[in-house]
């Protein structure tokens, strides 16, 4: 599109023809000529090069270069691979993904249920322990077993066991 003296990315602005002044500062153009991008996978320097490599070589290169670490570019390679799948392969992938998502959901639900059950058990144990501590204090103050039972809600047999 542009001459060889301009790189693969070129920036252009709009200028008024008679005065050659720029009035539309918010309006500019960026052209990317992918044919001019000649770097190989081991020559890439930064995310811009990685995207240009992906866009210019996506038909011939199916795997990202070893230096590519950006998650968006890696996802683009995966999407491109999925785009080339047969209908049967894509359907199998979707079924497997749905199954995996369902399993993850089930695990998350079970984990949440376990957490809630653990909290409830912890509260119950803490409440019982608190009642026992109060019962001991009341017994030391000289209250009878039946009075302590009425105050704490603990059975008299449990309070009797505390005395032993």
Residue range 32-50, pLDDT digits in tens: 999 999 999 999 999 999 9
Using the 3D structure, point to which of 50, 83, 116 is the last residue of a domain: 83
- Same domain assignment for residues 123 and 67: no
Are 154 and 135 within 8 A, CB to CB? yes
- Residue 112 backbone dihedrals phi, psi, to 5 degrees: -65, -40
Residue 15 contacts residue 21 (beta carbons within 8 Å) = yes
What pLDDT, on the 0 to 100 scale, is given for residue 61?
A: 84
Residue 162 has pLDDT above 90, yes or no: no
Same structural domain, 101 and 74? no
Mean pLDDT calculated for residue range 136-148: 94
Q: What are the tens digits of pLDDT across the range 51-71?
A: 999 999 988 888 899 889 999
Q: Could you tell me the pLDDT band of residue 31, with boundaries at 50, 70 and 90?
A: very high
Pairwise CA distance, residues 10 & 28, whole Å:
11
Indicate the residue among 28, 53, 83 that finishes a domain: 83
- 58 and 94 assigned to the same domain: no
Residue 154 has pLDDT above 90, yes or no: yes
User: pLDDT over 70 for what percent of the chain?
Assistant: 100
**Number of structural domains the chain divides into:** 2
Region 7-23 average pLDDT: 93
Are 54 and 121 in the same domain?
Answer: no
Going from the C-alpha of 58 to that of each of 19, 63, 79, 109, 162, the distances in angstroms are 44, 9, 11, 41, 78
> Which pLDDT belongs to residue 3?
86
What residues make up the domain containing 63?
9-83
The number of CA neighbours under 13 Å toward the Cβ of 19 is: 4
The answer for residues whose C-beta is within 8 angstroms of residue 137's C-beta and 6 or more apart is none
Residue 13 lies in a domain: yes
- Averaged pLDDT of the chain: 92
140 and 101 together in one domain: yes
Looking at 66, 83, 100, which one is the last position of a domain?
83
Whether 77 and 14 share a structural domain: yes
> Do 27 and 66 have their domain in common?
yes
Strand, helix or coil at 59? Answer: coil
Provide the pLDDT for residue 81.
86
* Rounded Cα distance, 43 and 66, in Å: 11
> What mean pLDDT do residues 122-139 have?
94
**Domain match, 48 and 113 both:** no
Do residue 107 and residue 69 come from a single domain?
Answer: no
């Amino acid at each position: 599109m542009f001459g060889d003296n301009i790189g693969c990315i070129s920036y252009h602005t709009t200028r008024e023809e008679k005065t050659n002044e720029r009035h539309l500062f918010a309006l500019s153009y960026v052209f990317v000529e992918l044919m001019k991008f000649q770097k190989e996978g081991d020559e890439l320097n930064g995310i811009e090069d990685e995207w240009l490599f992906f866009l210019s070589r996506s038909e011939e290169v199916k795997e990202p270069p070893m230096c590519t670490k950006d998650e968006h570019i890696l996802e683009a390679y995966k999407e491109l691979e999925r785009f080339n799948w047969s209908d049967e392969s894509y359907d199998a992938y979707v079924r497997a993904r749905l199954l995996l998502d369902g399993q993850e959901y089930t695990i998350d639900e079970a984990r949440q249920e376990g957490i809630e059950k653990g909290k409830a058990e912890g509260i119950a144990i803490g409440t019982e322990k608190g009642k026992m501590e109060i019962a001991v204090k009341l017994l030391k103050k000289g209250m009878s077993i039946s009075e302590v039972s009425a105050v704490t809600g603990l059975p008299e047999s449990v309070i009797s066991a505390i005395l032993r």
